[in-house]
Structure 1
């Protein structure tokens, strides 16, 4: 059932929020992320195979531990936006936003009239009738976030017009794909990539749209904090788990030797 979006409220107050990408479709893992103290999770349906029932259960797991669930949808897929929100997500991460038209399409799919034309539906988000449907529409438009992921050179160049029309609640950087867009694949700390991220942040500041960074080192985190950034994605659970597993084994092998 629809609940207050604590991340959106924290953004409005200028508070910090921390999240993780989650690519393994396991409700237990989502529950662990919430119990660890993260504020939000981005459930990935762009790069991973997640069926609709799995997604709904991942969102239920997040709700059980007061973890705000966002869903990264496949590029240019209004149907995926609708299904994610009907499953209970409190926002969608729209990848590869390159033009204003990309955001207008996402907003149309994510918000009810008069802001958009999200298809009307009952079901679990209005609590199977516990929330009056007319009131639900109003509240959903207030709580659901549209998060634009800027991960192409074109998106960086077009960001002023992308944001000027409104409808974007948060901008998320995508340094990995951005590096490829600039011809330096996986060189996420390349000067050209760092300059592009700084340009994105500066434009967000100018247009008063919150910016979310993905720091890869403590130095990155501190640099973004000093620049006024308050929302962070601290990587992905697969990478964290793989590094922890290797470190655990290396530690025991070292001790045994």
Structure 2
């Protein structure tokens, strides 16, 4: 595998920070487990972070999470030794800046459809000279256990920049996306991908066009020295696919809560 970057990134950095749990597992060849957080509650963030997960994806795209909740969740999760990751709601300099100023250990960016969009994500996620990220907040360093100068020197090499491939266009352009310097991980969004390719959700899982698209994404990631991840419904599905992916997001807090009650009610009614 060739890493198509001309500067150190999370995949090849020599910087070591024990607080970066997801990155450290990826670099060690282990498979970090994460989940999505949609509730705007610092207590839910703490409860989820204490389960043994390696990272929590604070969902600012589809979750009920604004700026205050985003900041509080990052602080709570990182304080418990777990990596706070943020799924932002789109590709925009101000959105990226606000998310990174919380101290997130990584960004997950939805609906990345071509190399130009991927390059925009990288540009506003990196400090100069690699990008155009601005500095003015004391908060990012805190979640990394560093001083601000230390953070400034390490951020470009340790921030996980993850892009979601979840459209037909994204699959068609995945080679160029994967080759984009500064992109660290390709993440498959299976539901939106199914809707784009099949016109319905969820995918049954045996549709040739769906399976071919997934294989194309993972193969492109490997060819360009990038990690690959995806969302799964449960731990069993993650275990079954552990040899194919480097990172999993196992469902989320909203489904976990609803499914637990459904299971209890079903048990009672049997």
Between the aligned partners of 2:180 and 2:266, the Cα distance in structure 1 is 52
Between the aligned partners of 2:235 and 2:81, the Cα distance in structure 1 is 27
More helix by proportion, 1 or 2? 1
Query: Of 136, 139, 159, which residue of structure 1 is paired with 2:154?
Result: 139
Measure how far apart 1:53 and its partner are.
1.4
Between the aligned partners of 1:173 and 1:126, the Cα distance in structure 2 is 29
Query: Of 135, 155, 159, which residue of structure 2 is paired with 1:120?
Result: 135
Question: Unaligned 5+ residue runs, structure 1?
Answer: none
Measure how far apart 1:200 and its partner are.
0.7
Task: Give the SS at the match of 2:229.
Answer: strand
User: TM-score w.r.t. structure 1 length?
Assistant: 0.90
Query: Of 93, 96, 102, which residue of structure 1 is paired with 2:108?
Result: 93
Match in the other structure for 2:223: 206
- What's the CA shift string for 1:190-243, capped at 9, x where partnerless? 33212211111111111121101223366643442233x231111111111101
Q: Does 1:12 align with 2:24?
A: no
Task: Give the SS at the match of 1:198.
Answer: helix
Q: Which moved more, 1:211-220 or 1:10-19?
A: 211-220
Match in the other structure for 1:246: 262
Between the aligned partners of 1:61 and 1:218, the Cα distance in structure 2 is 24
Query: Of 176, 180, 184, which residue of structure 1 is paired with 2:191?
Result: 176
* Corresponding pairs, count: 251
Between the aligned partners of 1:174 and 1:98, the Cα distance in structure 2 is 12
Match in the other structure for 2:241: 224
Query: What is the Cα-based RMSD across aligned positions, in Å?
Result: 2.1
Between the aligned partners of 1:29 and 1:167, the Cα distance in structure 2 is 32
Between the aligned partners of 2:150 and 2:233, the Cα distance in structure 1 is 41
Q: Which moved more, 1:73-82 or 1:150-159?
A: 73-82
Between the aligned partners of 2:133 and 2:22, the Cα distance in structure 1 is 22
Task: Give the SS at the match of 1:192.
Answer: helix
Q: Any conservation in 2 of the 1:169–1:209 contact (CA below 8 Å)?
A: yes
Measure how far apart 1:143 and its partner are.
1.9
Question: Unaligned 5+ residue runs, structure 2?
Answer: 1-16
Task: Give the SS at the match of 1:193.
Answer: helix
Task: Give the SS at the match of 1:214.
Answer: strand
Between the aligned partners of 1:58 and 1:133, the Cα distance in structure 2 is 20
Match in the other structure for 1:65: 80
Q: Which moved more, 1:90-99 or 1:210-219?
A: 210-219
Q: Any conservation in 2 of the 1:31–1:64 contact (CA below 8 Å)?
A: no
Measure how far apart 1:165 and its partner are.
2.5
Match in the other structure for 1:234: 250
Query: Of 183, 189, 202, which residue of structure 2 is paired with 1:187?
Result: 202
Superposition pairs of residues 64-83 of structure 1, within 5 angstroms? 64-83=79-98
Q: Any conservation in 1 of the 2:165–2:187 contact (CA below 8 Å)?
A: yes
User: TM-score w.r.t. structure 2 length?
Assistant: 0.86
Measure how far apart 1:24 and its partner are.
0.9
- Cα 1:140–1:217 change in 2 (3 A) is closer
